[in-house]
Structure 1
């Protein structure tokens, strides 16, 4: 496959950020695999993988055509800089940390692959509780919300219930099979 988008999604607590960061480290020597930074209308927090922007800045980016993708989730707006589209046109895989709610809005294309990272409900609850970003009620709501996304059509499904190294290797191997050899 030549250039393509790899849209990674999954429930809160599945470890998407961690799996993607570990896969990025495994693929550090691959110039043809690019991990996109998201712009999000929320402040950064420990381990953030996004660039914070204000609501006004986001509207300016959107109005100027500077975003190739954008979506709303959890009360925030997320966007991907349009410069990454050039990477896809140049033959790179561009990996996007996205939202399950946005998957159904993605264009059907041979240049798009969806990866879903999941974990057992017990793992999800434990991880969300440990990270202490959500109240107990919010954790319960997020877990209940998972039923809404049970039928996502993913090209690759990674269950992150064992070690981070195993899940990261699965993601890295999947992307390597898609990528053009440098």
Structure 2
């Protein structure tokens, strides 16, 4: 049985990780931890690595996808492909800049109003002042992404967005 890979994209603060956490409780849905060259923070579940370790992993071809955003390197391990080949639905939080690097995946954009996204970014207290400003500016710039196969609105309550996302991932299997 072949599963599916869904690339989840959206602005910082749109709720990508929150939605993924809600869906991976289903036995056929999973995610993989990304490697990021950023200090660990409670608001996100990832593997924090140094620049040197990241480069070694890149040289060892560990990553299925990788990119740089906000001055940090991100890598998605090849384990994602192996899980899909085993029949799982794999949800991966990625940058919009990498969606064209992969074929045979579906792209789901998570949207929320600019006001809500800005409130979420500020309230999680993860970024320093410079990082916060970069993310807030990008919210305005990235409102019109056209590379998604599906769009889920996460401006209201999380349950509505979870239901919409479930409909997409289970109907596309």
Q: Which runs of 4+ in 1 moved over 3 A?
A: 134-141
2:31 pairs with 1:38: no
Give me the TM-score of the superposition, normalised by structure 1.
Answer: 0.84
- Given candidates 46, 50, 54, the residue that maps to 2:46 is 50
Q: Distance in 2 between matches of 1:9 and 1:98?
A: 6
Q: Distance in 2 between matches of 1:152 and 1:36?
A: 25
Q: CA RMSD in A?
A: 2.1
**Further displaced range: 151-160 or 116-125:** 151-160
Q: Distance in 2 between matches of 1:178 and 1:2?
A: 12
Q: Distance in 1 between matches of 2:34 and 2:127?
A: 21
**Equivalence map 1:1-182=2 (5 Å):** 2-25=2-25, 27=26, 29-30=27-28, 33-103=29-99, 105-107=100-102, 109=103, 111-134=104-127, 138-146=131-139, 147-148=141-142, 150-179=144-173
Unmatched 5+ stretches in structure 1: none
Q: Displacement of 1:158 after TM fit?
A: 0.8
8 Å CA contact 1:100–1:149 kept in 2: the answer is no
Give me the TM-score of the superposition, normalised by structure 2.
Answer: 0.88
Q: Distance in 2 between matches of 1:53 and 1:141?
A: 22
Q: Distance in 2 between matches of 1:58 and 1:138?
A: 21
SS of equivalent to 1:133: coil
Q: Which has the higher contact order (CA 8 A, sep 6+)?
A: 1
Q: Displacement of 1:101 after TM fit?
A: 2.6
Unmatched 5+ stretches in structure 2: none
